[in-house]
Amino acid sequence: MIRSSRFHLLSTLVVAITIIFLTFGSVTAEAATRKKKRHATTSRAAVTRSVHHRTVAATALVARASLNTTSKGPIIRGGPWLSPTYADSTAEDFVDGEDLDVRRAAVEALGPYNGSIVVTDANTGRILTMVNQKLALGSGFQPCSTIKVSVALTALKEKVITPTQKVNGIDLKYALARSNNYFFATLGIRMGYETVSRYARLFGYGEKAGWNIPGEQAGHYPDAPPKNGGMGMLTSFGEEISQTPLELAALMGALANGGKLYYLQYPRTRLEAQHFISRVKRDLNIKGLIGDVKPGMLGAVEYGTARRIMRDAPDEAIAGKTGTCTERNTHLGWFGSFNDSGPRKLVVVVLLTGGRPVVGPLAAGVAGDVYKNLGQVNYFAKTAAPASPVPALLTMPMCCK
């Protein structure tokens, strides 16, 4: 009995220390985000609606950033960042098989920023455009707070929480909308590494998301809890995980379509696009959970960390999750999303890299512009070409159904 009490006391202490650590991080991050809003707004205002002007602006910004350099790379005001905030993100892209309406909308939305945009059809897994293919097909970056979506699904599936159950005084909807670190650190510690990692791999982490896409690399999922912060950091910031834009796009597609994790496919020619055949990787069996996760993702756009989208108010209802953190002296801004209205469901994933202006809310603003640009050409009203499905090649193990 004494040994059990000591173990309970030790577990409580671990949770408390982790929460204190994450609270400090959240407070400083929130303060930094407030300071960044002025700079991010100024940068976005400079982006024109012409691809020609976009290129000129990008060239000027890159030149300005490169004036102050060291042997370690560009210095962006506020710290020695190894990636510039601005670049021509379309260089060397191959676009022959892309949907050119989507391509134009994404390139215009990204403007001069150094990053990648991946847009997919949620009901087929077709990649409609992939801006900055070198970055999108690479081995990925820390997912930051976007990892919280998969953690929420895992906790619901394992009945560790209910949608209305409060943890540290808040429920799941609020925790996702405001990206609360307390909440998800606690869930990670309660569930443990084996449970969290098993579901993460089922959701596509640590494996290629695409089907025979030349140059694609898989992301990475750690074999043990992170040394820095343990499970609390794994489930709130994605510590030691490398997530690719394609991995996040595949998971967002499953949420949008009711639970099918498609292989993402990238047609290389117009003919391949016309004869597209969808391929299901596995059925995640999460259809009954999506309605519990989606309100928090919609809340992120309506009043939470992605509310910058509402500044331009795209007609489509958007569900999404932001992520902001620093890895390898590169600031990261993530946003994974899908439109939650209309018959045509698209997934839009934005990854920004660079210096201080780069944050998840900025990535959300870029994604919002993609949806808005597509809405202006009535893209969502168009009927998508049907794709003959190939049955699932893999199924979820019995342990996790």
In the prediction, which pLDDT does 299 show? 97
Angle between helices 245-257 and 287-302 (to 10 degrees): 110
| DSSP code, position 210 | B
Residues 85 and 114 sit within 8 Å (Cβ to Cβ): yes
- Please answer whether residues 141 and 82 qualify as being in contact, where contact means their C-beta atoms are separated by less than 8 angstroms: no
**266, 120 contact by CB (below 8 A):** no
Q: What are phi and psi of 384, to 5 degrees?
A: -75, 145
This prediction's pTM: 0.80
Q: What is the pLDDT of residue 310?
A: 84
- Could you tell me whether strands 73-74 and 277-283 are parallel, antiparallel, or unpaired per DSSP bridges? unpaired
Which domains, and CATH codes, for the chain? 2-142+207-217+241-400 (3.30.450.330)
Q: Give whole-number Cα distances, 202 to 112, 212, 233, in Å.
A: 36, 19, 20
> What pLDDT is stored for residue 66 in this prediction?
29
Provide the pLDDT for residue 328.
79
Please state, in angstroms and rounded to a whole number, the distance separating the CA atoms of residues 248 and 348.
10
Tell me what pLDDT residue 385 has. Answer: 58
* Tens-place pLDDT, residues 111-158: 999 999 999 999 999 999 999 999 999 999 999 999 999 999 999 999
Query: What is the pLDDT at residue 343?
Result: 82
φ, ψ of residue 54 to 5 degrees: the values are: -60, -45
Burial class (CB in 10 A: 0-12, 13-18, 19+), 124: buried
Sign of CA dihedral 95, 97, 101, 102: negative
Q: Which pLDDT score is estimated for 315?
A: 77
Alpha-carbon gap, residue 138 to 371, rounded angstroms: 25
What integer pLDDT is reported at residue 304 of this predicted model?
A: 97
Instruction: Please give the average pLDDT of every successive group of 10 residues along the chain, which has 401 residues.
Output: 40 46 42 39 35 34 30 40 87 94 98 97 98 97 98 98 95 98 97 98 98 97 95 97 98 98 97 96 97 98 94 83 92 96 92 94 97 94 64 42 36
